[in-house]
Amino acid sequence: MTVTRVLVANRGEIARRVFRTCRDLGIGTVAVYSDPDAGSPHRTEADRSVRLPGATPAETYLRADLLVAAARAAGADAVHPGYGFLSENADFARAVVDAGLTWIGPPATSIDAMGSKVEAKALMAAAGVPVLQLNEVTEADLPVLVKASAGGGGCGMRIVRALADLDAEVETARAEAASAFGDPTVFVEPYVEAGRHIEVQVLADAHGTVWSLGERECSLQRRHQKVVEETPSPFVTPELRAALSDAAVTAARAIDYVGAGTVEFLVRADGAFFFLETNTRLQVEHPVTECVTGLDLVAWQLRIAAGERLPAEPPAPTGHAIEVRLYAEDPAQDWRPVSGPVHGFDVPGTAFAVPPAAGIRVDAGVVAGSVVSTHYDPMLAKVVAWAPTRAEAAARLAAALANARLHGPTTNRDLLVRSLRHPAFLAGETDTAFFDRHGLDVLAAPLASDDEVALAPLAAALALAAGRRRDAAVLGDLPSGWRNVVSQPQRTAFETAEVSYRLTRDGLQGPEGVELVSAEPHEVVLTVHGVERRLSVAVHGDDVWVDGDGWSVPLRVLPRFPDPSAAVAAGSLVAPMPGSVVAVHVSVGDRVTAGQRLLVLEAMKMQHPVTAPADGVVTSVDVVVGAQVEAGAVLTVLEGET
């Protein structure tokens, strides 16, 4: 069969990734987009696009009927599901095939076999693959992990360390699973502290050939979602690699697998491993495998769907590849996701392509001008480094991230850089307890030093003044605030600092040891104790970003006359992010204790509890279940007990 036009039943980065390969192969492309994604680059990069009316996944990307209808309307003859959403939904695969379209994925029967993690474990145990089993939870079994049966990506996953918390965490996991995957089924398994999450990439054709393309180490995780992935694993020995590969191939053959897929294992410190799940789709972290093998896995998905055979043996891997997931989130605030406009996005690299030599690859879902929505996962991009050695790959990747221009929502960039440069990471000590063991207070600390944090407001103030001077109708060639007679200094107030300086015939009068070389609206050059520092400045409304050599400082200009209506009453608890209120646990007059859950917001595929910061009495509840709230909106008001 011949594929001529592919609809990608997905959004963002993975849709753009598939489109790139389709363009390389001369295949036409079709995008689908929800209303919040109307300005997404995946829509504009496709040859054709079809709107899915609505905002939530349930209204749009989880509607199999709308996706099949879009494929037909746009003249597509094949559907690629990407990852997430309906990518592992057997009914969707059947609907695609029943519509006379080619499904770029495994047979529906294989998806069925792995679709329920509960049934998948039984099937793998019968095939001789080691599994974790737990039938009834007792005190001796703690801690345990609650997991969604129908999905992954951290949704519907909760660690439970006390039996008293089990029921509540199961209900939360069910709600997340239902919202993300349309299936609330969850199960419980033993939780292995400080284990390693190792997965094996498999590729199988319809003629009986199954490849193992090596393992990926995916142990650095937050909220059970991967943050850093690499291949080969620094932990896996040749003997363990062979055993994992054999188990992965056995798993694939047990379900007559066809196409690209991943078999995931939990590996203990002693090398014992257990089957976790099989992802019957392309994985988020597939680029690291592409970098070391030179394969285009999407191209092979298309070829296999068209009936082509794999060669007898896979290519031998070379070098080392590390991928990080760049998220719009604040790790220091319990990984709180962040939404809003992306003003600037520039990571040194080549998008969606394996570098021809050691270098950087960027698979991004956003560009400058994109908006990070509250309806979807907050991942902005995957940044990948490929080099001959692990140490060089880590160094290249850390430098590319540190020097990236990321202007907009807060990101986890500084955490990623500090993790890649951490001695424990470089030593290969990368189990699932990495972030807990080394502490977010250390890993999420800003890359900018105290001196650089102090220098940034001065550079921002000088750039802002240069912009005003450039726009001046008269005397535009004089420095801003320049006077023949010494007068008051120039002052600029930011949320975190206030800058005071003068520009005179003798130059800058400001911080000791700092001299002004030049100041333009987008670049300020200062000499600091004899060392010239070139700082770029980006201004977007009241928000300013100052980027140095490997660091960035965000600032916000304070208004000269604050709006008194913007103030909130003492004791107000405000929404930390835009989202939907899914539960309210208190009423006016209730007495609450510190840490008690007051209500729950849902945003970016996850549920976020809002808890009492101290003991008190609820004096106001300003939201109801189902309400959509903006960041900063008052949710409830507490009054301290006297």
Convert the pLDDT of each residue in 92-122 to its tens digit: 999 999 999 999 999 999 999 998 777 888 8
pLDDT digits (tens, 9 = 90+) for 173-230: 888 888 777 788 888 888 877 789 999 999 999 999 999 999 999 999 998 889 999 9
Task: Report the pLDDT value the prediction gives residue 274, as an integer from 0 to 100.
Answer: 92
DSSP 58: G
Task: Report the pLDDT value the prediction gives residue 485, as an integer from 0 to 100.
Answer: 56
254 pLDDT above the threshold of 80: yes
pLDDT digits (tens, 9 = 90+) for 392-412: 999 999 999 999 999 999 999
Q: Which two tokens stand for residue 126?
A: 């019968």
Rg of the Cα trace of the chain? 27
Question: Reading across the β-sheet that carries 28-33, which strands appear in turn?
Answer: 48-51, 28-33, 5-8, 78-80, 102-103
Characterize the bridge pairing of strands 329-330 and 336-337. Answer: antiparallel
* DSSP of 229-264: EEES-SS--HHHHHHHHHHHHHHHHHTT--EEEEEE
Give the predicted TM-score (pTM) of the model. Answer: 0.87
70 burial via Cβ count (<10 Å: 0-12, 13-18, 19+): buried
Band of the pLDDT at 369, cuts 50, 70, 90?
very high
Give the span between the Cα atoms of 10 and 273, in whole angstroms: 33
- Asked if residue 232 has a cis previous peptide bond (ω within 30° of 0), the answer is yes
Task: Report the pLDDT value the prediction gives residue 487, as an integer from 0 to 100.
Answer: 64
Q: Which domains does the chain have, with CATH numbers?
A: 5-104 (3.40.50.20), 133-190 (3.30.1490.20), 195-316 (3.30.470.20), 319-446 (3.30.470.20), 450-556 (3.30.700), 564-639 (2.40.50.100)
E strands within 167-209? 186-190, 196-204
Task: Report the pLDDT value the prediction gives residue 122, as an integer from 0 to 100.
Answer: 87
Q: What mean pLDDT comes out for the span 409-416?
A: 98
Q: What mean pLDDT comes out for the span 60-83?
A: 98
Does residue 122 sit in helix, strand or coil?
Answer: helix
